[in-house]
Amino acid sequence: MNTVVVCLPDIPGLRHLGDLPSNVEVLLAPRDGPPPDLARVELAVPTRWLRRPLLESVQSLGRLQVIQTLSAGVDWLAGRVSERITVCNARGVYDVPLAEWVVGAILAVQRGFASARDAQGRGAWIELMPRELAGQRVVILGFGSIGSTVAARLDPFGVEIVGVARSARDGVAGMDELDELLPTAQILVDLLPLTRETAGFLDARRLGLLPDGALVVNAGRGRTVDTDALVAELGDGRLWAALDVTDPEPLPAGHPLWALPNALVTPHIAGDSPAAEERAIRLAGDQIRRFAAGEPLINQVPRYLLRDRLR
């Protein structure tokens, strides 16, 4: 058997990788210190500290065939890898925690938890008239694996769910129908991936189509929303927002979003959990075993998501 060289992050979570075939040679990339010799690598599993050295040398890595990300999003690779390199993501790994965050964020705003917490910090007993979630129309923008999981967890609350995807399919609207749906959406959940088409997609015009009091929930990518337009709507008190991702990110101190009482902001943690990290590492191990055995890889990313460089 030919030796297969793979590069993995040097993290404690590798204990979940599982046994690898005898023909797999593992190179570890430490968090602190120089990366290993990437010229020999055929399959790379990059983490944040390996992204830069990988991108800086990816065009010259003649043996690299596969990049298996530990994230669902791959926008950082867009326009930077040739078609000879297969990119696979961690689709499905983060569905559960992301869906839980979306439901939790909606409830926190709709049922007044966020406002009450703010008042608690001031030591103030305030009067609230929170809205029920039941009966609300929830439009889920980017209705894929995560979107369907969100829908399943929202369904018991008695909401009306409308899924919107890149292309229409049975029971799911297409993006060309969104303008007709926005005026009816009490809650808009943004799960869009970041592409050239979706950058700034929720702009002033589309946000302006939402009804007064609507809640914008973003657990996808910060750059899919025009931040200035959103701040203007929030500043007028017309909309509410629950944001796990922002543009810019990290959100700098002094940014208007921090001070707006109708904005709930969390630091890009919606998909994070020990169980999700374990699933991501197990997926990487499964992919390495498939690659070493010459079997087809799962979660291959469509080329249109990798076509245009975004930064």
- pLDDT, tens digit (0-9, with 9 covering 90-100), for 145-203: 999 999 999 999 999 999 999 999 999 999 999 999 999 999 999 999 999 999 999 99
The closest of 250, 189, 191, 194 to 220, measured between CA atoms, is 191
pLDDT tens sequence across 64-118: 999 999 999 999 999 999 999 999 999 999 999 999 999 999 999 999 999 999 9
Q: Does residue 311 carry a catalytic annotation?
A: no
Question: Which domains, ranges and CATH numbers included, belong to the chain?
Answer: 4-93+274-305 (3.40.50.720), 95-265 (3.40.50.720)
268 catalytic residue (yes or no)? yes
Catalytic-role residue among 166, 221, 223, 279: 221
Question: Starting at the edge strand that comes first in sequence, how are the strands of the sheet with 215-218 ordered?
Answer: 172-174, 160-165, 137-141, 187-190, 215-218, 240-243, 263-265
Spatial contact of 305 and 166, defined as CB atoms under 8 Å apart: no
- Catalytic pick among 80, 268, 289, 290: 268
* Among 184, 187, 188, 186, residue whose Cα is nearest residue 202: 188
Residue 163's beta-bridge partner residues? 140, 172
pTM: 0.93
Q: Taking every pair of C-alpha atoms in the chain, what is the biggest distance, in angstroms? A: 71
Q: Which of 25, 249, 278, 282 is catalytic?
A: 249
Annotation marks residue 221 as catalytic: yes
